[in-house]
Amino acid sequence: MEMPAISIKNINKTYIDQDGNEVQALHDINLDVAEGEFVCIVGPSGCSKSTLLEIVAG
């Protein structure tokens, strides 16, 4: 089996909001993307799509 071009394993992201509350934006995210594969990440506004992509981008 080939190694994925992108591999995301057990990604978590937590923020502290303006009131000092802990907000879990991402919890236990896993994703493998093969070379040449086309992937769309969809969801409503504010569901941390951009946060996930920023983590992947480094």
Confidence (pLDDT) at 2: 83
Q: What range does the domain containing 13 cover?
A: 6-57
Coil/strand/helix, residue 17: coil
**32 inside domain:** yes
Domains in the chain: how many in total? Answer: 1
Rounded to whole angstroms, the Cα distance separating 10 from 35 reads 21
Burial 30-58 (b: 16+ CB within 10 A, else e): eeeeeeeeeeeeeeeeeebeebbeebeee
Residue 1 has pLDDT above 70, yes or no: no
Residue 1 counted as domain residue:
no
pTM of the full structure = 0.81
Query: What residues are paired with 11 via a beta bridge?
Result: 29
What confidence tens digit (pLDDT) does each residue in 5-54 have? 999 999 999 999 999 999 999 999 999 999 999 999 999 999 999 999 99
